[in-house]
Amino acid sequence: MSRNYFIAGNWKMHKTRAEAAALAKELVAALKDGRHKYLVAPSFTALETVAAVVKGSNILLGAQNCAAEEEGAHTGEVSVLQLKDLGVQSVILGHSERRHLYKEDDGLVNRKVRLALKHGFDVILCVGELLEEREAGKAEAVCRRQTVEGLKGVSAADLQRVTIAYEPVWAIGTGKTATPEDADAIHAYIRKVIAEAFCPAAAENIVIQYGGSVKPDNAAALMAKENIDGALVGGASLKADAFVPIAKF
């Protein structure tokens, strides 16, 4: 497999600047000999602080969201221009908390994806079904729609800067992990969707992370699956002693 493992930590709405800096310092030291690709995504308020800590390390800096416009009258939003100014390299978009708590639809997520790519960022596009959608047999259809709509208008060249994170909503923060087999099946399906929407080579190369209650004791079994190329980690990314073993699985 030519794809590199990519382990990302989504710190969500946690940590003051001092706490974020302390965790980032621990990770820089612990992962300097790590063999995979790494990213941390602190809150907007801690980005500048963490940028200074991870500079020159093998840990990339991500934001958890961005606005769909470059600038203007958008109270409470943060622009790609402002993120670039802070040294952010990557943006997580379409996270289930954005989709379900803040009602972001596929069209809005797609505008953000295209704007972030236009400004040179890497993108982690999150997709995943709700429990009721899984129980109704709609998991594949939901992931197809979120993938196709989220990537509408993205060129094959820009797709090389996109990672997909499959995060079944029922597994996020619940302690319920999809089995490696179930996750791998959806990853394979998403790869098929990418092959149809772009081309087989793009599907072969795209990195697809799994997210949803990834922990030190289940990471290796998930990563062993053919189509699982990394993890987007929430709760277990908040402490070095949980994130480092996942990052070094």
What does the per-residue mask of binding to ligand PGA show for 108-147, with x meaning CB under 6 A? ----------------------------------------
19 is catalytic: no
Say how many residues touch ligand PGA, by CB under 6 A: 13
Contacting ligand PGA (CB under 6 A), which of 104, 167, 184, 229?
167
Catalytic residue chosen out of the listed positions 36, 95, 97, 187: 95
149 is catalytic: no
Q: Kindly identify the residues of this chain, within the stretch 168-207, that bind ligand PGA according to CB under 6 A.
A: 172-173
213 binds ligand PGA (CB under 6 A): yes
Which of 198, 104, 119, 212 shows the shortest CA–CA distance to 151?
198
211 binds ligand PGA (CB under 6 A): yes
Report how far apart, in Å, the C-alpha atoms of 169 and of each of 109, 116, 129 are: 17, 24, 6
Contacting ligand PGA (CB under 6 A), which of 233, 240, 242, 247?
233
| Residue 40 CA neighbour count, 13 Å, CB half | 38
Find out whether 55 and 88 touch, Cβ atoms under 8 Å: no
Instruction: Sort 247 into a burial class: Cβ within 10 Å, 0-12 / 13-18 / 19+.
Output: buried
107 binds ligand PGA (CB under 6 A): no
Find out whether 86 and 103 touch, Cβ atoms under 8 Å: no
* CA–CA gap between residue 234 and residue 74 (Å, rounded): 28
Contacting ligand PGA (CB under 6 A), which of 235, 242, 246, 247?
235
Kindly list the residues in this chain that would bind ligand PGA in the complex (CB under 6 A): 10, 167, 172-173, 211-214, 232-236
